[in-house]
Amino acid sequence: MNIIHAIVFIQNWGNGADFIDNLKNNPHVISLFHIMGRHSYLMDVNFDDKTQLGSWIGKLKSITLSSGVPALIAMETQKIIEVLKSKSDFGMGDYRAMTKKFHFFMKIDNPHHDEKLIALLSQEPIVFSNLHVQGENSFVAEVITDDYGKYKNLLMKIKKLKSVHHIETQEVISVLKYRNTCVDESGTLIQPGEDIREMYTL
C-alpha cells in the first residue's frame, strides 16, 4: 500500500468549536487527542496520496474564526515510517474509563543508534504505542499509567541513553475521536454517519 500515514500536531486559537467539529467529522482524521504542551491537538491521519494531503492541509488553513482570523496557528506533520508497538482491542470506551490514569505522548529525538531505545520502549508495559516517524524527532511513544512515578522512572531510563538528544512530553487532556469513534456533546459514544477509513496506528 502507498497510503500516506502521519501524526499531525496542530496549534489553534481559542476553543475553536467549529474547527474541532471539522476535524472530528473529517474522514482522514482517524484519532484526535486534545493535549497540553507546545501543541493543542494530536491527530492520527491517512491519505491516498500527496495531492489529497495537500488539499486537506489547505482546507484546514482556510478555516477562520468569526473575526476573520485563521483558526490554525501552526501545524507539524510527521510521516509514519514504521509502527513498532501498537494497542489492540482498544477503543473509545477504554479511554473513557481511564479517569484516574495518566496519559502522555512523548516526542523523542534519537538521531543515531535506535536499537537500545526501541528495545527499552518495547519492553516497558506502560508504553502502549511506539511510532518511528519522519520529522523533527525520531519517535512518538504513547504512555498510559496509573502511577506517575512509573512515568518518571521511564523518563529517567530514556535520559540515560546517550543517543537521545531531546524529549518533549505532551499530556492528553481528552480523547475527542478514537479509531473513527467520536463522543457527542452529551458524552455519548457515536459513529460518524459517513463511510470513513478504518486504517489507524494509535
Query: Tell me: the pLDDT tens digits for 156-185?
Result: 999 999 999 999 999 999 999 999 888 776
Q: pTM for the whole thing?
A: 0.91
Average pLDDT of the segment spanning 26-33: 93
Percent of the chain clearing pLDDT 90 (strictly above): 63
Kindly report the number of other CB atoms within 10 A of residue 52's CB atom: 13
Alpha helices in the chain (DSSP H): 17-24, 50-62, 92-96, 114-123, 148-159
- Spell out the domains of the chain, with CATH numbers in brackets: 4-79 (3.30.70.920), 82-173 (3.30.70.920)
33 and 41 Cβ atoms separated by less than 8 Å: yes
Q: Which residues contact 143 (CB under 8 A, 6 or more apart)?
A: 102, 103, 104, 105, 106, 126, 127, 128, 151, 154
Helix, strand, coil shares of the chain, percent, nearest 5, are: 25, 40, 35
Count of all residues that appear for the chain in the document: 202
Average pLDDT of the segment spanning 143-165: 96
168 and 37 Cβ atoms separated by less than 8 Å: yes
CA distance 74 to 68: 17
**For 180, which DSSP code?**
T
Average pLDDT of the segment spanning 138-150: 97
CA distance 161 to 27: 39
Q: Phi, psi (5° rounding) for residue 36?
A: -100, 145
Residue 100 Cα distances to 143, 148, 181, angstroms: 14, 11, 22
CA distance 164 to 167: 8
Average pLDDT of the segment spanning 184-189: 68
